[in-house]
C-alpha cells in the first residue's frame, strides 16, 4: 500500500504484459477483486484487508465497506478471514493498516513453512501435475501448491511440472507457466483433458493443488476441474495433495456441500484473451453466437480423494482437520 492506494499486479494482462494498478479507494479495490484483476485466495484476502484499511482512511461506514468487499468472491475463505480480523481488531486507520500488513506478512511466513513441509514429497526426478495458479501471484510472495516445487528447484533437485491450462480463464497457462519461467522450473503446459493421459502413461508422480476453502471434514473447494484430477489420480494410484494456509480452513462448513460455489459470467467461457501475431492484446469469441454457457468457478473434491493437506502446521490427513485446527 502506498499512501491510500493499494498497488496490485494487473493479473489478466499476464503473461503478455506486466503492469501495476493503483486502486485508490475501497470500491476500486473491491471491483479489482470481483473482476479478478486481483485473484488467488491468499492474495485477495490480503488485498481485501488493505481495502478495509482504505475504508477507514476514507471515513466511510465500515460495516458497509466490509460487506462491499466480502461480497466480491463468495467461495474463498481467506477473504472473510482477513476482513474479520481487520474489523475485529482495528478502531483507527493506523490499526487497520497495521493489521492488513500483519496479515500479508503472515501469508509470506505460512507459505515459507508450506514450502519446507512439502519439500520431502519432491525428490530429484519427481514429475508433478498442478491445476490453476496457487503461486506467488495467488498467495503473497511464495504461494501454496508450487511453494515446495520452488524450494526443491532452488535446492538443485530435478523437478518437472505438467501445468494444466485451467479453462476458462487459463490461469495455469497464463500465470503458473509465467511464474515457472521466472523461477526457471522445467514444465510443459497441457490441455486440461490431457492430465489423465499422462497419469495413465506413468508420467505423473504427484499432484499438488491449492484451495479456496477447506471444510471441517476435509472436503476442498478449488478451481473447477480439480475434482476430475483427484478422481483420475486415485484411479492411477497417484498421491493427490492440497496445499493451503490454515486461514483457508473454514470449520463452520461441515462438508463441501456447505461451501458456496461462485457462478461467474458466461462470457469467460465464450471469449479468450491473448496476443496477436502483431503483438497486440486481443479478445476473441470461440463459441457460436447465441450459445449459452455454464461457468462454475470452483468444484469440491471430497476428502476421500485427498492424500493429505499441506499447511504451515504440517501435513494433515483430511479427516483430522477438525481435531488439528479446532479451538
- Our answer to whether residue 258 is catalytic in this structure is no
3-class DSSP assignment, residue 187 = strand
Q: Do residues 166 and 132 touch, judged by C-beta distance below 8 A?
A: yes
3-class DSSP assignment, residue 264 = coil
Q: Do residues 161 and 195 touch, judged by C-beta distance below 8 A?
A: no
**257, three cell numbers:** 456441500
Name residues whose C-beta falls within 8 Å of residue 211's C-beta, 6 or more positions apart in sequence.
41, 134, 144, 220, 221, 222, 242, 243, 244, 248, 309
Q: How far apart are CA 321 and CA 162, in angstroms?
A: 29
Q: How far apart are CA 224 and CA 158, in angstroms?
A: 29
Identified catalytic residue from 78, 164, 205, 212: 212
CA distances in angstroms from 237 to 146, 162, 192, 233, listed in the order given: 21, 17, 19, 6
**Residue among 68, 105, 111 nearest 87 (CA):** 68
Q: Do residues 180 and 128 touch, judged by C-beta distance below 8 A?
A: no
Which residues are known catalytic residues?
A: 212
Amino acid at each position: 500500500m502506498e499512501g491510500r492506494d493499494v498497488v496490485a499486479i494487473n493479473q489478466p494482462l499476464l503473461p503478455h504484459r506486466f503492469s501495476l494498478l493503483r486502486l485508490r479507494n475501497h470500491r476500486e479495490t473491491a471491483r479489482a477483486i470481483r473482476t479478478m484483476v486481483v485473484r488467488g485466495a491468499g492474495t485477495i484476502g490480503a488485498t481485501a484487508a488493505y481495502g478495509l484499511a482504505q475504508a477507514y482512511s476514507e471515513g466511510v461506514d465500515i460495516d458497509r465497506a466490509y460487506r462491499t468487499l466480502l461480497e466480491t468472491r463468495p467461495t474463498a475463505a481467506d477473504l472473510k478471514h482477513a476482513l474479520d480480523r481487520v474489523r475485529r481488531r482495528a478502531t483507527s486507520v493506523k490499526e487497520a493498516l497495521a493489521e492488513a500488513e500483519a496479515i500479508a506478512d503472515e501469508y509470506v511466513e505460512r507459505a515459507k513453512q508450506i514450502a519446507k513441509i512439502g519439500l520431502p514429497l519432491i525428490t530429484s526426478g519427481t514429475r508433478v501435475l498442478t491445476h490453476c495458479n496457487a503461486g506467488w501471484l495467488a498467495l503473497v510472495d511464495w504461494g501454496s501448491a508450487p511453494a515446495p516445487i520452488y524450494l526443491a528447484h532452488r535446492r538443485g533437485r530435478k523437478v518437472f511440472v505438467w501445468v494444466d491450462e485451467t479453462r476458462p480463464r487459463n490461469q495455469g497457462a497464463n500465470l503458473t507457466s509465467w511464474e515457472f519461467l521466472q523461477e526457471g522450473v522445467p514444465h510443459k503446459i497441457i490441455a486440461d483433458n490431457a492430465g489423465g493421459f499422462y497419469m495413465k502413461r506413468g508420467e505423473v508422480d504427484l499432484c499438488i493443488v491449492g484451495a479456496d476453502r477447506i471444510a471441517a471434514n476435509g472436503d476442498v473447494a478449488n478451481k473447477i476441474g480439480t475434482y476430475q484430477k483427484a478422481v483420475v489420480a486415485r484411479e492411477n494410484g497417484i498421491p493427490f495433495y492440497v496445499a493451503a494456509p490454515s486461514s483457508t480452513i473454514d470449520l463452520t462448513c461441515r462438508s463441501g456441500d456447505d461451501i458456496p460455489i461462485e457462478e461467474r459470467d458466461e462470457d469467460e467461457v465464450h471469449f479468450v484473451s491473448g496476443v496477436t501475431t502483431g503483438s497486440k492484446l486481443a479478445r476473441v469469441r470461440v463459441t457460436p453466437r447465441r450459445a449459452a454457457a455454464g461457468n462454475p468457478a470452483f468444484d469440491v473434491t471430497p476428502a476421500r480423494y485427498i492424500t493429505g493437506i499441506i499447511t504451515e502446521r504440517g501435513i494433515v490427513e483430511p479427516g483430522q482437520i477438525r481435531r488439528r485446527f479446532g479451538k
